[in-house]
């Protein structure tokens, strides 16, 4: 098999294995999450609860109605976020082999420099290419972790903005103000859809 084809195959297999860990548990719960995952979810959970408080305390007001609708969207976002942080947790676990791969690559490169025959050099070239492909797969996993982190930060920022506006009572009875908050809830819905798309992209939540 050509070296490039072998490298491409290794990348595909490694990424598939890393993501497969995230498919073993389609849905998760707080009890199954590690400390870091729970820490990542805490701001979203707290913001969701703060929206619930606003809805309960201001019953009958525009702010309460908007907060109640936002709670529903926050629940959807949290459900997806839990799946994504579990995926993140498992991807990070898969990255544990990266250091060994990089050490092995350095050793192979030194052996290649000391090789005496064409046969040795050819064999080592193939092993080096395989390690490069493995390290590339780890880089892909890191990119997916960064994508998850970015979505979590976006969700926190959006929920925090809406909560702050509602908590300060900046909802007048003007059509313009109500439209502003309606637009913010629409942003939450769009954000929830982006979380669904992230699950599909990562191949999690599928049977």
How large is the average pLDDT for residues 178-187?
76
77: in domain: yes
207: in domain: no
Mean pLDDT is lowest, of 71-75, 136-140, 182-186, for: 182-186
139: in domain: yes
Q: What is the CATH number of the domain that holds 113?
A: 1.10.287
127 close to 15: Cβ distance less than 8 angstroms? no
Residue 46: its pLDDT value, please? 94
With b for 16 or more beta-carbon neighbours within 10 A and e for fewer, the 140-149 pattern comes to bbeebbeebe
Over residues 25-50, the pLDDT tens digits come to: 444 455 578 899 999 999 999 999 99
198: in domain: yes
Q: How many domains does the chain have?
A: 1
Q: Is the dihedral of CA 156, 190, 197, 45 positive or negative?
A: positive
Tell me, yes or no, if the pTM score tops 0.75.
Answer: no
The length of the chain in residues reads 207
How large is the average pLDDT for residues 113-119?
93
30: in domain: yes
What residue numbers bound the domain in which 145 lies?
3-202
17: in domain: yes
Over residues 82-115, the pLDDT tens digits come to: 999 999 998 998 888 889 999 999 999 999 999 9
């Amino acid at each position: 098999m050509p070296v490039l084809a072998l490298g491409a195959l290794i990348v595909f297999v490694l990424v598939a294995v890393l993501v497969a860990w995230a498919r073993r548990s389609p849905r998760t719960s707080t009890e199954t999450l590690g400390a870091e995952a729970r820490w990542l979810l805490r701001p979203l959970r707290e913001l969701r609860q703060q929206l619930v408080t606003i809805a309960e305390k201001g019953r009958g007001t525009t702010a309460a109605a908007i907060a109640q609708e936002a709670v529903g969207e926050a629940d959807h976002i949290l459900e997806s976020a839990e799946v994504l942080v579990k995926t993140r947790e498992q991807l990070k676990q898969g990255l544990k082999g990266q250091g060994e791969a990089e050490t092995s690559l350095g050793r192979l490169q030194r052996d290649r420099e000391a090789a005496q025959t064409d046969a040795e050099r050819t064999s080592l070239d193939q092993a080096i290419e395989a390690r490069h492909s493995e390290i590339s797969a780890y880089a892909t996993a890191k990119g997916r972790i960064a994508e998850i982190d970015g979505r979590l930060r976006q969700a926190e920022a959006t929920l925090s903005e809406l909560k702050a506006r509602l908590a300060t009572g900046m909802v007048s009875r003007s059509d313009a103000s109500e439209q502003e908050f309606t637009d913010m809830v629409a942003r939450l819905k769009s954000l929830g859809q982006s979380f669904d798309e992230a699950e599909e992209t990562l191949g999690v939540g599928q049977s």
